[in-house]
Amino acid sequence: MRFAGEGCQGQTSQSFVNIVERVPIRNFRMRRLRISAISYLNTAPLMWDFEHGTHPFEISYTLPSSCARALAEGTGDIGIIPAAAYASIPGLQILPDVAIASRRAVRSILLVSQIPVELVRTVALDTSSMTSVALTKILFEKWLGGGRTFTPMEPEVEKMLETCDAGLVIGDPALQVDRRLYHTLDLAEEWIRYTGKPLVFAFWAVRGDALREADPGLDLAAVFRDSRDHGLIPENVDQISREWAPRVGLDESDVRSYLTENIHYQLDPGCLAGLQLFYHYAAELGALPVAPELRFVRGSRVFAD
């Protein structure tokens, strides 16, 4: 089986990616779309315009798994959802070009233990995660040796290791782990080492039903892409680093290098290929229910089915 990006340059396989064609919907009541965002450092550049200017959205912050739940339950319209959540929530469309991904070690998705990984038999899984939970299961089943027992737990390393041999910790808590005290595996680095492809953790998705009630002149793809681009301007990264360093307990230089070197914010052809492979493996191993078709919002206006 070939995946998008294999054997071609700058193109994605149409057997996996369906660009949704729509016609404009008119004569309906417009409303402010509700954004469900993640309260982690790595989303700060994506949220730049929404936090530093006027915008036509209602915004709330939550954890990755809860963000996905808001879209599933219809209490949110647009969310920066875990890649794994897209496989189980029907009717979502992806905003193109923007992602939280990595093409190298990511630092914020760690398997932490007091013994070497080959001796690990029980793993505590961070309950705030979805994609990283699936990733952990994929890595063990395909490359690190199967037969492990997985238990959902709150992301507190010491408590995890009182119960299990290893713990999966993501986001800001992972950045705060003193890696000198433990055996640690950076799971993005492991994925890239075994597959040669980037790892996509999250992307913006929109409920198809919500598009029918949005301003038809609003170019959602451009709005969210521009916010990402503005958030990554060097002086704005410096400001984010100053503000977030005391929150996450890191030096400003560590925050800056994390945002500019460890996180990749483009949903480019290489990332699409990695995302499709992730879905394939997760469905194959039962970590996700299905390898979903990727459906994108396209065009200079908001359209709906």
Q: How far is residue 47's CA from residue 27's CA, in Å, rounded to a whole number? A: 31
Of 3-17, 95-109, 155-169, which range is least confident? 3-17
Q: How far is residue 124's CA from residue 275's CA, in Å, rounded to a whole number? A: 24
Q: How far is residue 113's CA from residue 274's CA, in Å, rounded to a whole number? A: 27
- 194: phi > 0 → left, psi -120 to 50 → alpha, else beta; which? alpha
Provide the pLDDT confidence category of residue 5 given band limits of 50, 70 and 90. Answer: very low
- Tell me the pairing of strands 109-113 and 183-186: antiparallel
Q: pLDDT tens digits, residue range 128-149?
A: 888 999 999 999 999 999 899 9
Give the pLDDT of residue 27.
38
**Which residues lie closer than 8 Å to 250 by C-beta, 6 or more apart?**
175, 176, 244, 258
Q: pLDDT tens digits, residue range 44-82?
A: 999 999 999 888 899 998 877 788 899 999 999 999 999
Give the pLDDT of residue 23.
36
Q: What share of the chain is helix, strand, coil (3-state, %, to 5)?
A: 40, 25, 35
Give the pLDDT of residue 29.
56
Q: What is this structure's pTM?
A: 0.86
Give Cα separations from 36 to 39, 142, 171, 206, 255 (angstroms).
10, 33, 17, 10, 23
Is pLDDT of 258 > 50?
yes
In words, the CATH class of domain 109-195 is alpha beta
Give the pLDDT of residue 4.
38
Q: Are 224 and 95 in contact (CB under 8 A)?
A: yes
Topology alike, domains 17-102+198-296 and 109-195 = yes
Q: pLDDT tens digits, residue range 20-40?
A: 434 343 434 567 899 999 888
Q: What is the mean pLDDT of residues 256-266?
A: 98
Residue ranges of the domains in the chain?
17-102+198-296, 109-195
CATH of domain 17-102+198-296: 3.40.190.10
Give the pLDDT of residue 68.
87
Q: What b/e string do you get for 268-296 counting C-beta neighbours within 10 Å, with b at 16 or more?
A: bbbbbbbbbbbbbbbbeeebbeebbebbb
- Tell me the pairing of strands 122-126 and 57-62: unpaired
Calculate the average pLDDT of the chain.
Answer: 88
